[in-house]
Each structure stands twice: as structure tokens, then as C-alpha cells.
Structure 1
Amino acid sequence: MSGHGTPIPMSSHKCGPLKGEAHVPGDKSISHRSLLFGAMAVGETVVTGLLEGEDVLDTAKAMRAFGAEVTRDEDGTWHVHGVGVGGFAEPGNVVDCGNSGTGVRLIMGAMATTPITVTFTGDASLNGRPMARVTDPIALFGAQSYGRSGGRLPMTIVGAADPVPVRYEVPMPSAQVKSAVLLAGLNAPGETVVIEKEATRDHTERMLAGFGADIRTEVTDEGRVITLKGRPELTPQTIVVPRDPSSAAFPVCAAIITPGSDVLVPNIGLNPTRAGLFYALQSMGADLTFENPREEGGEPVADLRARFSPDLKGAEIDPEGAASMIDEYPVLSVVAAFAEGDTVMRGVKELRVKESDRIDAMAKGLRLNGVEVDEGEDWWIVKGRGHGNVPGGATCESHLDHRIAMSFMVMGMAASAPVSVDDGSPIATSFPIFEDLMGGLGADLRRD
């Protein structure tokens, strides 16, 4: 599948029990950072378990364009020979980040304090997404940005020749913005400080420490205060990428709503800043358990077992945990449709500026399939119909958004009539084996 080519209409049909093990791809957030930090280290970083979806492959191409040597062995092991902090070369062409907001925003931060000029572009979805949330703070270091109206791609960034350290309070919960500022701070003198009022995923902090950066985090009255000492020499690492909790969400949620299902999803990263969905599901009465908890590569990991849960109840999802499950709200809304009563989701305005306006996209699709939804700027309520009462039968727009497409494919597995999407091709950006994996468990997915 390709998120950049011919649309692929898909449909999902009511199926029997989902059974077996779901070996989902590697974590996308950690995969991006493995390539990027490896490119900024001196020496060879070795990565296994990398997610080989289009988003991450676009980041690999970008690192090559910046002068790093990035290769892949036949067994799926990746090697990154880095150029060091401040060692990026100026790319000879436009850097195309495809569909990846994470990739482009982190790379913008990483190059912002190196005196090179880079033009970034992406697909139609990425080129419609706001970049000012990154270009505003990197301007404080001395970088200059020239983009389309509204701060959108294509955009040219001129890196700072004489960067200065920055103290920056992130105005919204965003791991991408926090990470971009920290990456810019790597090549600035002195200490760069990032303050976030609400904790977001902390892979950047964990991995920078693992690569040898001098970074510390304190919880104060201001919030989480992260201090990074600039211009370290990053030490190459051997990284085993845990499997992606955002990808695990789809087989887990499908098993919970599909009668008779019992699915094991092994080796899932359970970083506290990423695992909010699973606790939200448990609060709704889902039969979801964590088996064999352990730690791998500094990240908590466990095997998830999800079983059909016929007595799901609507719940008020804690807005304090929104950042830890922001990408999972679309598929959570599908589970909510099969619950009894209202599921209330607040503090989720970040969903409005993802690959699509995910609140709008999911609300429209749920309504087409017979589920009532109320929505506001930063909240939405799914009025659950209970198991066996979701009509389905409609075709939904995916809006070039992989998570919208996969969420409606999950819905079709338990709805009374098939659920379709106009284009399933974007699924390849994060979960290229989605069709085969779900089909192996017993799902009935079809390309129409």
C-alpha cells in the first residue's frame, strides 16, 4: 500500500472470533528517533525491530540526504553511521517527509541550529498541517523559516549560524514540539530548557540520555522542566525497538468488540506516556490484561491479552491522560460505539490538527454508520449503542489518515453490515502489514 499513490477502497465485513498472536510492527516514535539520533551520533548505531512503514523510511531517506550513511541488512537490521551533533550536510534537493508530521517536525528541530538551508515538503495531508508550532520556537534559536500561508509546507528553513540557548514553555501538550526544541538545543551552547505543563511521551528524553546527552527532568510548580546541555558528543547505540502500542491498539480493540475473540499481542511498549488507551479500555470494562511485564532498552514492555468484552460501559475518559493516548482516540471511539451509554472525551483539541481533523472525520463516519456523536472544539461524546446494535453499512472518508482508515476497518468486524473506506492506502505509513495481520487473526478485509 502507498499513502501517496492510487486510492485503494477497502471494506471490512462482520467476522467470526479473532484468535491468535498479533505481532505488530515496531514503535513508530522510537523508530524515527533511532534513525535521527543515530545520524547525530559519532560512529555506528545498530537498530533492530525498526518499523519499516513509509513514514520511517522517509526519515531514513532524509538522514541520508543530511550526510549520514543509513543501510539495511537482509535480516532487517539497520545501521546508521552518524555525522555528529552539528554535522549535518546541506541536502542537494528538497526533503520529502511524505505523510509524517513526527518526521518533519523533529528533523526541522535537529537542523535548525546548523547553518544549512533546507526545503521540506510532504504529501497533500502533511502539506496542509501547521508547522508554526515548531518554526516559532526554533526562531528563538536564530533559525529563519519561509513557508506557505498559515505556516505550511513546502517550507524552507535557514539554520542559525550562531545559535543561542532557549528557555521555552510548550503552549500545548505536544511531544513533537518538545522534541524539536530539545533537538535544536543539542547544537546550541549552554543549556536549553523546555517546560511542559502536561507530560507528553518522553522517548526523546530517554533516548537522548541513552546516547550520552546531559539531560535532566524535574517536576516543579511550573510543570515538567527538562534541561539539556548543548553540544555533547552523542555515543552510538544498539537499539531494540519495542512494538508499537499505537499499532497494538487495532488488534486489541478489534478483539474487545468481536464475539468470541482472544488475541495475544506480544512485546508491546508500555511507556507511561503512551499507554493511556489500555487503561481507558479497562475503565470501560474491557477484558484486557498485561502478561509477562518486563523492561527492554529502558522501556517497560508487556504482552497484552485482549478478549471479547460484551458488557462494555461508556466512561468519562480522564483528560489528564489525553497526551498519553492522543493517536488512539479514533479507535477508542469505535469501541465506544459498542459500549452501553456515553463515552466522553475531553481535552483533545490536538486531534483537530493531526493527519486530518480526527474528531470531524470520526464523527462523520460514525454517524454514517448509525452512531450518534456530539462534538465541540476540544471534546466529543460517542453515544454507545451496545454490542450487536451498531448498524454499519456506510462508506467513510479516510482523509489520507492511516488511523481513520484502520479504525473504520475495526468497526466493520463487529457491525451488522460492512464498513468501507474510500482509501485504505495511507495505512502503509504506519502499519504496512495491517491487512495480513488482521486477516491472519480471522478478520474479513477486502480491497474493493
Structure 2
Amino acid sequence: MSSPARPLRGCRSSALTGAVTVPGDKSISHRALILGGMALGETRITGLLEAEDVLNTAEAVRAFGASVVRQGPGAWKVSGTGVGGWRRPEDVLDFGNSGTGSRLVMGAMATTPVTAVFTGDASLRKRPMGRVLEPLKLYGAEYDARPGGLMPVTLKGAVEAMPVEYLVPMASAQVKSAMLLAALNAPGRSRISQKTLTRDHTEKMLAAFGADISVEPLPDGGEVITVGGEAELKAISVAVPRDPSSAAFAIVAALLVPGSDILLHDVLLNPRRTGLFTTLQEMGADLVIVNQRESGGEQIGDIKVRASALKGVEVPPERVPDMIDEFPILAVAAAFADGNTIMRGLEELRVKESDRLAAIIAGLRANGVTVQELEDGMVVEGLGGDGVPGGGTVTTHMDHRIAMAFLVMGLAAKAPVTVDDTAMIATSFPEFENLMGGLGAVFAEG
């Protein structure tokens, strides 16, 4: 049963100040649970994001036969079955709103001869699963779904899996990762190629768990990833860094609200996740990364942000995969910039929790911002630091990032900005209101 709608307004705020730690990275949290469930021994995870999306993945891994135990805030222990040891779940797997969790688990089970039924909330049941289910058939898996590859999906793992060679046709870390996870229980070596580089958490974590994996660049700027099958993963300890996609909301809020000065601790700085930070710096943001270090094979650091006058820029299309989840909040920043901000190459936003591109454009227009919609993107006409009227109501379409982005807009707009529902924020960032409120952000009910 879905949560009742909960409207909320972002209201003009005084300077945001303080030091905060945002929740653990969602992408790494999903992968730590899944690989822990496929490994031999006890995987210990600290800093796990305890949001609905990740908790649904934990429940799915448990349903496949792994022991998944919460030991304290963010501290979890996973005792895996070994690769190929997952059993048939006794019930339907409900992933709520999580495209990442559902698609990665599909890949992880696709080469094990068990059957599972996948479903989710109304939003997830509208999202295309064929993009991952069709290539998984190359391994020998079979599936049944609603027309268009929509959930509910019944997936039958391969009885006699085969290694594959596959070129991922779109810039999708989820499809690539599903194919890499499926390769673990196929004989021989599978080769997964991509023309556009996408986030590489799966590759890094597979190596940490002891998988036979190599990554080679291609002349056209892409890469090919080779995975040895019939793998034996060994349990490790995973310290989950803080999520840059969650940090983005506090960062942009501090840039837009005059007088703000904040510090965010332990943020993941994987080069394939920092496109927003680079873009904001190009726009003139006073955003400085300090105390850089390595943790568990990933770069992390602290981020200092001060209120800044921003200018419009053109975002290079090749940077899009490095910031695919951050375009809602970048669009809000662009509304307060001087001049136009041009964003192209955003086709993937059409198949996120909502048609995210259309939702961004509608939200901006509802609050007095002129936007030109392009087939693959948009041009936001910035109104300057104190020029956004606000006063509109934004339809979130059950999309957590749309909700949080437009609440941030309200903190600096002339009039409050209302989002029609904030219940789904719990899927990725349940601490959002408290954390932002602790910095000085003002939110009001209804």
C-alpha cells in the first residue's frame, strides 16, 4: 500500500550554515548487499543507506537465501550463498520505486536456474525493463512481462548459462551492471562493452570481492569489461561513502541562498559521479573539495560551499552520464544563474522515475522560469540570483529528485514553491527535511 501524498513548501530562507554528513551512497549500498549475498563468508557493511530503495534490495537478497542482518544504524552483516547458490524466492519481490535494485538483482539471478517474480510501485511498473531483460536472454535466461517489458516480470534463470559478448546500446550503468553480475555464473569469459563511460561502482566492487575482471579502453573512448565466470566471490568489509547525488541538494541550496556557508563530510568523489560539481564550478560556484582521500577503492573528500553568483553554461553531452541524477537540481541552479544554461544528451531522463525531463521543464515553467524544450534536453533562461518568481505548485510524478530539487528552489525564490507530494523522498533520502532544516532551510506543510 503506497503512502498518502504529503505536500510541502520550500520557503525563502536565511543563510544556510553548518557542517553535515549526508546518507550513504545509494548505488554502492545496492551493490554491497547484492555482492555480499553472492559471496562466501560474512560481508560487513558500514554506512549503508537505510532508505526504502536499499531496504527493498536487502529484502530481495534475503529472499534468495542469503542472511541479511541489521546490526545497528548503517551497520549490516550479509552471509552469502556463493555464486550460483541463490534459491527460488517464496514470494513476489517488491522493489518499490527502485529501478537500480530491481535491474541489478535481475542480472545477479539470471544465470542461476531459479525463477522469481519482480514488481514495484506504480511508478516502477511504468519503467522499461526490456532494456535489461532482452540482453539477459543472451545468457540463456527467459522472461515473461507485460507489453513493453513492463512489470510484473517473471524471470527464469538460465539452466545452462553461456558466456556472452554484448555492446550496451545506451549510456546505462544499470544495464551494464546487470550484464556483469550475470557473467559471474556463466562459464568462460564474458565481454561487456560500452561506447559511453558510465559509473563504475560495479567494476570496482567486483574486483574488491575477488572477481576475475579487467577493463580496457577502446579507441573510440568507450571500454570493454571482461569478467571470468563460475566465480568465487569472497566476503569483504565495505565502508559506504556519502552520496554525491544527495549532497547535491544541500550544495545547490547553499549556492543560491545569500550568505550561506556549509561543509559536507566524506562525499564520494568517483570521477564518474562528479559531473555536477564540475559544472557548478564552471558556473562560478564557490565549491572547494578538501581533505581528499581513498576509502575502499573509492575517492572521498569534504566539500566546502559558499553562496555564489552563477552564470549560464553549456553542459558537454559527454558529461551527462557523470551527473545523470543531478539534472533536476542543476536546472534549479540554472534558473538562478545569469544567462542561458544549455543541456543536451538527456534522453535517459525520459525513462527515470518519471519522464524526468518533462517534469523538470513543467516545474520550472510553473515557477516563472522560461525553458526551451529540446528533443534531447533543454535550455533554461536564467533569471539571476533574486529573479525567480516561485509561487507555483510542482507535480512530482512520484519522483524523489523532482520533489527535493523544487523544495530547494523555494528556499531562494521570491515566493514559496509547493511540491504536490514528498512521501517518495524516503526512497533515497529519508533525512532530507531534518538535515536541510538543521542548516536553516525553511519548509512548511501543504
> Which bin holds the TM-score, normalised by the shorter protein?
over 0.9
Aligned residues of 1:22 and 1:251 also touching (Cα < 8 A) = no
Rounded to whole Å, the distance in 1 between the matches of 2:390 and 2:133 is: 42
Q: Secondary structure at the match of 1:289?
A: strand
Q: Secondary structure at the match of 1:413?
A: helix
Partner of residue 177 from structure 2, selected from 167, 173, 179: 179
Q: Secondary structure at the match of 2:72?
A: coil
**Paired residue for 1:6?**
4
How far does the alpha carbon of each residue in 1:12-70 deviate from its partner, in whole angstroms, 9 at most, with x for none? 10000000012100000000000000000011000000000000000000011000000
Rounded to whole Å, the distance in 2 between the matches of 1:36 and 1:423 is: 30
> For residues 325-404 of structure 1, what are the structure 2 equivalents within 5 Å?
325-404=323-402
> For residues 39-438 of structure 1, what are the structure 2 equivalents within 5 Å?
39-221=37-219, 223-310=222-309, 312-438=310-436
Q: Secondary structure at the match of 1:427?
A: helix
Rounded to whole Å, the distance in 2 between the matches of 1:22 and 1:415 is: 24
Rounded to whole Å, the distance in 2 between the matches of 1:348 and 1:410 is: 22
Q: Secondary structure at the match of 1:188?
A: coil
Rounded to whole Å, the distance in 2 between the matches of 1:354 and 1:180 is: 17
Letter in 1 for 2:261: D
Rounded to whole Å, the distance in 1 between the matches of 2:308 and 2:123 is: 35
Rounded to whole Å, the distance in 1 between the matches of 2:353 and 2:74 is: 28
Rounded to whole Å, the distance in 1 between the matches of 2:240 and 2:350 is: 29
Letter in 2 for 1:102: T
Aligned residues of 2:66 and 2:78 also touching (Cα < 8 A) = yes
Residue 377 of structure 1, CA deviation: 2.4
Rounded to whole Å, the distance in 1 between the matches of 2:73 and 2:308 is: 38
Point out where structure 1 has 5 or more consecutive residues left out of the alignment: none
Aligned residues of 1:4 and 1:426 also touching (Cα < 8 A) = no
Residue 209 of structure 1, CA deviation: 0.2
Rounded to whole Å, the distance in 2 between the matches of 1:328 and 1:37 is: 26
Q: Secondary structure at the match of 2:409?
A: helix
Rounded to whole Å, the distance in 1 between the matches of 2:6 and 2:158 is: 43
Rounded to whole Å, the distance in 2 between the matches of 1:343 and 1:130 is: 29
Question: Kindly, what percent of the aligned residue pairs are identical?
Answer: 58
Rounded to whole Å, the distance in 1 between the matches of 2:433 and 2:56 is: 22
Aligned residue-pair number: 445
Rounded to whole Å, the distance in 2 between the matches of 1:22 and 1:357 is: 31
> For residues 4-43 of structure 1, what are the structure 2 equivalents within 5 Å?
4-43=2-41
TM-score (norm 2): 0.99
Q: Secondary structure at the match of 2:24?
A: coil
Aligned residues of 2:17 and 2:261 also touching (Cα < 8 A) = yes
Aligned residues of 1:336 and 1:383 also touching (Cα < 8 A) = yes
Point out the more displaced range, 88-97 or 219-228. 219-228
Residue 228 of structure 1, CA deviation: 0.3
Rounded to whole Å, the distance in 2 between the matches of 1:100 and 1:423 is: 18
Rounded to whole Å, the distance in 2 between the matches of 1:190 and 1:239 is: 28
Aligned residues of 2:84 and 2:185 also touching (Cα < 8 A) = yes
Letter in 2 for 1:49: G
How far does the alpha carbon of each residue in 1:104-132 deviate from its partner, in whole angstroms, 9 at most, with x for none? 00000011111111110000000000001
Residue 75 of structure 1, CA deviation: 4.4
Point out the more displaced range, 75-84 or 207-216. 75-84
How far does the alpha carbon of each residue in 1:216-235 deviate from its partner, in whole angstroms, 9 at most, with x for none? 00002252010000011101
Aligned residues of 2:129 and 2:149 also touching (Cα < 8 A) = yes
How far does the alpha carbon of each residue in 1:128-157 deviate from its partner, in whole angstroms, 9 at most, with x for none? 000011011101111111011111001101
TM-score (norm 1): 0.98
Rounded to whole Å, the distance in 1 between the matches of 2:274 and 2:444 is: 30
Q: Secondary structure at the match of 1:406?
A: helix
Letter in 2 for 1:304: I
Rounded to whole Å, the distance in 2 between the matches of 1:220 and 1:55 is: 34
Rounded to whole Å, the distance in 2 between the matches of 1:119 and 1:254 is: 41
How far does the alpha carbon of each residue in 1:304-352 deviate from its partner, in whole angstroms, 9 at most, with x for none? 1111002x11000111110000000000000000001110001110001
